[in-house]
Chain A
């Protein structure tokens, strides 16, 4: 009853085609650059730059090809009975770590109310797994949990436990639950503290698990919600408008070796327990110690044990929240960077499926790719210093000067190709959304196209800044250093100019030095490097501006036009729980929601 995946030959053919197209683009860029460099004679720096552009273009092309493949089909549900009675017992795991309990636990109340609204007799419990280290927050967690249980009539369905120490962080938290209580459940929905899922989605995930006994993990595609800042809304639009197409391409290529993104997914408890026990890696951090990006590893281990790991991108009703500013994004990225680089120790683990190894390699490449671009830019600035001066009189005794042919057309072709790889997939996604009617959810075809162009402009502005943060993260991990971030932002995510400057003055300095060096050593390159250099110099302003609230309809997403039911429920519970007069003691007993308590 599994999804009608392409045959094994078809799957390998698709992967081969994607790799071949990417290689073709990379080799094309390599060849063009060699011709460009050959105008004044090839030297070692030209060849180095050509190799760097080969790797960088290959990486860009891989992403573009993924989107192009995703554009060829539409997400569809696997073959299963969406009304089948549910036999197994499920627990929704909500790991928390120093989060605000009112905000987090009100999500649980909203999801429970959503489940109750489905009037399905399935047994679905909730377990809040606290790794909170701050005693005051832990005390509030217990009080808020009591309120949650009282409101949702949750005795026997809601559980709370706090670990004495948070060994292994989130992976250790889940493992602790399984070794303590795993035998009580058939399935576990794993969430993050900021996850929200419709009850109907949870029930369909359980039915899909029951319909396919070999399915070990089912991942949904969560949409980012509640973004307010310019940066947050750009990310939200991108996740809602572009990501489903990229994910479709990924889903088509991965077969039964799908991804796990750590949350908004369901696992078969027995499969997870027997396959995903994670020991600490040999040696000390950053490469040794506990596995940081455990989700990728768990997906690979399930696949190694021949369990199906699947991304069901047709399932809606799955939400998460994202960072509201570039600093928070970079902080999160710093953790992910260390986790992904740590996978270099796991990529050679015995018995892994080749696609799992490839996924690890992709994850590593995602963080080291900026280094190749930076290397290319640095080499381009230095190149004129070692290039021989042009020889206008190569023929002895010939009275007329010889002007070498201009190779600017090759450089322009290369630039068009690289920008094409960046822009084309997004433009095509917008065009298809206009044709298929998907754009209606984003305010109509015209607004969706305008939002796409706006997102492209916004990401062009922020890309050099993010590139610098990613580069710093990689270097810090390699040197075993900590991030060293300035003070936290305000509650709404907006950054002050001072904090923005503190977080990015080093990017400004590098931008100034880079453009200064270009002006001195390679003035002909200055115009080419301005799109990278100017955003770097303006980094503090970009951080500050992008963290402030966005107004207007540009980059609207469907969840803003029509608030999803579970989000509306959460808003209502949160508003009630946050009201000054609503102290937990004042809570009347019994459920307060119109829906009866869920089974």
Chain B
């Protein structure tokens, strides 16, 4: 269960007060969304390269990586 606690906005006195609010004040005040952020990290949803490139890469012979500077010294 979520640990977030709502303010006791449904309290009868506050509710009566809220009814007296203008509609715009209502949506900006007691009926605005609760502030309880949750991260929604972007996912990887497409291959890094397209199908054609992947096919070509798979078919072409792989070159050995170039030796780094100082290799074999």
Measured CB to CB, the residues of A under 8 A from B are: 87-89, 127, 142-143, 145-146, 149-150, 153-162, 175, 177-186, 269-270, 273-279, 281-282, 291, 297, 301, 345-346, 348-351, 584, 589
Q: What's the dominant secondary structure at chain A's contact region?
A: mixed
- Ordered nearest first, which 3 A-B pairs have the shortest CB separation? A182-B38, A156-B9, A146-B23
Please give the distance in Å from B7's CB to the nearest CB on chain A. Answer: 8
On chain A, the residues within 8 Å of B27 by CB distance are 142, 145-146, 160-162
Could you list some 18 contacts between A and B, CB below 8 A? A89-B2, A142-B23, A146-B27, A153-B15, A155-B31, A160-B27, A179-B37, A179-B39, A180-B37, A181-B34, A181-B38, A182-B38, A185-B2, A269-B2, A273-B38, A279-B45, A281-B45, A346-B45
On chain A, the residues within 8 Å of B2 by CB distance are 88-89, 183-186, 269
Interface size on B, residues (CB 8 A): 39
> CB distance A143 to B23 under 8 Å?
yes
> CB distance B19 to A150 under 8 Å?
yes
* With contact pairs A142-B23, A155-B10 given, residues A276 and B43 touching in the complex (Cβ less than 8 Å): yes
CA distance A275 to B19 in the complex (A): 39
Measured CB to CB, the residues of B under 8 A from A are: 1-2, 4, 6-10, 14-16, 18-19, 21-24, 26-27, 30-47, 51, 54
On chain A, the residues within 8 Å of B33 by CB distance are 127, 159, 161, 177, 180-181
On chain B, the residues within 8 Å of A162 by CB distance are 27
> CB distance A348 to B4 under 8 Å?
no
On chain B, the residues within 8 Å of A273 by CB distance are 38-40
> CB distance B6 to A87 under 8 Å?
no
Contact of A179 among B21, B24, B40 (CB under 8 A): B40
> CB distance A184 to B47 under 8 Å?
no
On chain A, the residues within 8 Å of B1 by CB distance are 87-89, 186
On chain A, the residues within 8 Å of B8 by CB distance are 156
Please give the distance in Å from A460's CB to the nearest CB on chain B. Answer: 38
Please give the distance in Å from B9's CB to the nearest CB on chain A. Answer: 4
CA distance A150 to B21 in the complex (A): 11
> CB distance B6 to A178 under 8 Å?
no
On chain B, the residues within 8 Å of A154 by CB distance are 31
CA distance A181 to B1 in the complex (A): 15
* With contact pairs A142-B24, A184-B36 given, residues A274 and B41 touching in the complex (Cβ less than 8 Å): yes
On chain A, the residues within 8 Å of B47 by CB distance are 348-350
> CB distance B43 to A275 under 8 Å?
yes
> CB distance A349 to B44 under 8 Å?
yes
> CB distance A155 to B42 under 8 Å?
no
Most-contacted residue by chain A among B21, B42, B54 (CB, 10 A):
B42
> CB distance A157 to B10 under 8 Å?
yes
> CB distance A291 to B39 under 8 Å?
no
> CB distance B37 to A182 under 8 Å?
yes
Closest residue of B by beta carbon distance from A177: B33
Please give the distance in Å from B36's CB to the nearest CB on chain A. Answer: 4
CA distance A348 to B34 in the complex (A): 38
Please give the distance in Å from B3's CB to the nearest CB on chain A. Answer: 8
On chain B, the residues within 8 Å of A127 by CB distance are 33
On chain B, the residues within 8 Å of A175 by CB distance are 40
